[in-house]
Amino acid sequence: MACGFSHDNVTAFEAALLAHPVRNAIAKTTKSPLGVKYSVECTLTTPDGRNLCIRTIWTDDADGTSPRFVTAYPFL
């Protein structure tokens, strides 16, 4: 919220998270019997223009669907 996101416009935060792996390279790939986990690092576009560095984690369950979002947290 300190970066311009708000409860009134959750879709802006959702759009920023979905754009994160499109705008940043995959930093790490981990394979397991359950599928593949992707770690994407750095710039998250924010409404106030600060554009934070975060890490998002995505998983591909090898079921033919697109990778799904798992979590995000600040990355330094």
Q: Which residue has the tokens 């576009």?
A: 45
Domain ranges of the chain: 7-74
Tens digit of each residue's pLDDT (9 = 90 or more) over 15-63:
999 999 999 999 999 998 888 999 999 999 999 998 899 999 999 987 7
Give me the pLDDT at residue 64, please.
Answer: 78
Other CB atoms within 10 A of residue 14 CB: 12
**Statement: residue 74 has pLDDT above 80:** yes
Q: What pLDDT is recorded for position 4?
A: 93
Q: Does pTM top 0.75 for this prediction?
A: yes
Exposure of 24 in the CB half-sphere (CA atoms within 13 A): 25
